[in-house]
Amino acid sequence: MTEARRKDSDRRIGRRALLVGGAAAAVGSVALAREELAQLYWRLPGVRRPRVEGAVDYRGARWVAASEANFRWADRPDDYGIDMVVIHVTQGDLASAVAAFENPGHRAAAHYIVGQDGHVTQMIRELDVAYHAGNRAYNERSVGIEHEGFVDRPEDFTDAMYTASARLTARICGRYGIPVDREHVIGHVEVPGTDHTDPGEHWDWDRYLRLVTEARTAST
């Protein structure tokens, strides 16, 4: 190890100790046991919790890892509560969306992509903060779902896609106690500050919410 590298790792350890110390102070207790400190450590924003390689949050989803440049490691819902699902449209086919999310230069990715054939690809764990909404607070509180197609081609929004996406959203809403309504299941276009228009005028919100509600009812 070179001198410069050793200094760098020393600094990292120093910063970690400082962060844990700060968190302990915030809790207001001077008597935190070592194990409690270790638990707190995982609750700090941006800290990677150990996880199983290739695990998905939605049964049947195919796992393809997004580039680490396109999301932030987190420990949701413990560090950030999740109360929203954001609906997107890829403006391209599934393969191009997967390639974009694997590309560190893209600087954006969603948790899931639903194909026109109804297959679900997961690229970021729900634990983590995906850069999909273009708004930090909304990224931290939401799960992002992309849909394969173009906003100006209504034929891209297939029955299989609506059904599969609704099941996925129903599962997410059930897991985090998110109400199935338009306050909590929103389009990218509704995120404050965005210049994106997806999912666009051809996305059938009434149909989608009805399908999510049905899937939610069926699973409870």
One symbol per residue from 61 to 100: x for binding Zn ion (CB under 5 A), - otherwise; what is it? ---------------------------x------------
What region does 200 belong to: left with phi over 0, alpha with psi -120 to 50, or beta? left
Nearer to Zn ion, 57 or 198 (CB): 198
Single residue of 188, 200, 203, 208 touching Zn ion by CB under 5 A: 188
What residue has token string 């954001």? 86
| The one segment of 10-18, 44-52, 66-74, 197-205 that binds Zn ion by CB under 5 A | 197-205
Residue by residue, DSSP assigns 82-118 as --EEEE---SB-HHHHHHHHH-TTS----SEEE-TTS
The answer to whether 198 contacts Zn ion (rule: CB under 5 A) is yes
User: Radius of gyration of the chain from Cα atoms?
Assistant: 19
Count of residues of this chain found to bind Zn ion when the rule CB under 5 A is applied: 4
DSSP structure class, residue 2:
-
| The one segment of 55-63, 74-82, 156-164, 188-196 that binds Zn ion by CB under 5 A | 188-196
Q: What's the token pair of residue 107?
A: 């600087």
What residue has token string 């939605």? 58
Single residue of 108, 196, 211, 216 touching Zn ion by CB under 5 A: 196
CB of 196 to Zn ion, least distance (A): 5
Q: Which residues bind Zn ion (CB under 5 A)?
A: 88, 188, 196, 198
